[in-house]
Chains A and B, each alone.
Chain A
Amino acid sequence: MTARVLVIGEIRDGHLLASSLEAVGAARACAGPSDRLEGLLVGPAAAAASPAFAAAGLASVACVADAALERPTPWAWSRAIVAAATAAGAELVILAGTAAGRDVAGRVAARWEAAAVTGVTAIGRAPGGRLRLSRPVFGGRATQEVEVAAPRAVLAVRPHAFPAPAPTASAAPATELPGGTGPEGDGRILGFEHVEGGAGPDLGDAAVVVSGGRGVRAADNFSLIEELARSLGAAVGASRAVTDAGWRPVSYQVGQTGKSVTPQLYVAVGISGAIQHLVGMVSSRVIVAINSDAQAPIFRVADYGIVGDLFAIVPALTREVRRVRGIA
């Protein structure tokens, strides 16, 4: 029996997101050899982005080249997705769990009368053949296993949880679907502004995050954290102590009242490890802690620890990272 899976790609500033390729990886992780994987792209850059999307392992890519879908509203995007899923005869829609992806998933599920599961980090089948998903809950303090009890499902996969497939030479056809523009009543996205210090990767989807805490002692010293982050190509985060003190804006905050992050590598510098912070980063794959207090709780969740003066360790680490990565 051939199952059909529709993978939704997301385009930002004309470029396909890496997390959309990971969504193809997730689709391939749960698809059988006879299953058919198709893609959907919307917006004016859809056709240009479709070869890269197809090369991740899609049999075809449907494009809705509607200029109004450049930054689609959840209302308009959900209609385009459900129309494509219906046209493809899909049983499964997979999208990347970005802000926009998570925002549209519930709409798609309700419209398509499907089950929906977000934050997916692993996909398998239960003995009866039902989809079985793993997802972190309670800020990564626990993992929930969920089974789908409906004929159709929408899955939003967590960034970095699935590998992006290596590109293959693909002759997958790009097909054109009619526009999905909604009425004026669905609202408008007027513009976009970067947060300050947004030169590096985004905190929410960076593969490496370097965060500073109270141990950094002053706003000016935070440049040490930023230099280490730059050497690693990492996003910069902060504990609540830092944002409460006004050393960095609230957008930097990792933790219960800030962002939850799940990078491959999380480097905590001068962060003691209050539960408030831990819930936002404990699902990171590898955690490094640098702290002067050997008893700090951060060392209990870390994989590697250095006890010492961050003002000596961090500059040395930045130099070593730059040397190894060949950065002048």
Chain B
Amino acid sequence: MRRRRSLADIAQPIVTVLALVLLLGVPFWLVISTAGKSQAEALNPNLAPPSQWQLFENLAQVFTEGRMALAFGGSLLVMIPAVFGVLILGSMAAWVLARRSSRGLAVVYALAISGIVLPPAVVTIVLLLRQLGLAGTPVGMIGVYMGMYLSTVIFFVTGFVRTIPQELEEAARVDGAGPVKVFVRIILPLLMPVLATATILICLYIWNDVFYALFAVGGRLDTLPLNLFQVASAGLYLQNWHLIFAYIILMSLPLLLVFAFAQRKIISGVTSGAVK
């Protein structure tokens, strides 16, 4: 028993390093080395290092050709209002849904969280956006994302509000605070941990979403994944693997930087709630 354990203790780091190299090292090295090659060398992407590194030239080229700055701005323009919107509207609704109980509200709650499981109707969303005159606009895209992720926020926050003692609200109410004041001053600050978790999840989804963006804004708004789709669709035809991978590097950098600085928070946020 003891001997076997010490064998496992030696094997574990070796297996870990092997897993890291094979499962992560190979794909990521492929990205970096190919992004550093010339077009001729990158024609058939392989693991050989570039004979001459031209990573920064490729990054610069893709930055301008992929309209990276515009796409970055477009991604932010859609993500920030959508995330703020779902957090505020979702917590307002969740507060009332958690504190009041009636058969009618139980139905409202069930419908409100159904979007966690049920897929959005992508095709008819386009029809609706056209009827509302919002097709291809940031507002339309924000609305679509809010409709998709409100369920998640309402679900998380309702559960969390139920753990906040009513007495905290009562105390403020005795001091003459109305519902808006109670919500803003007492409830919202207490919701911060669960809102942080929801923010991380929803930012991840929206930042990386391409499917719903393809339908809702098509080619009329630049976002990072949409432009990657365009760069790659054109690039694969022209065999421009060095540009595709350069784009992937630039596009992943913002989230990787955020992750590097806040990894502990992100990881604990993502796992909290999953296991009880």
- Check if A and B associate: no
Interface residues of A (CB under 8 A from B): none
Interface residues of B (CB under 8 A from A): none
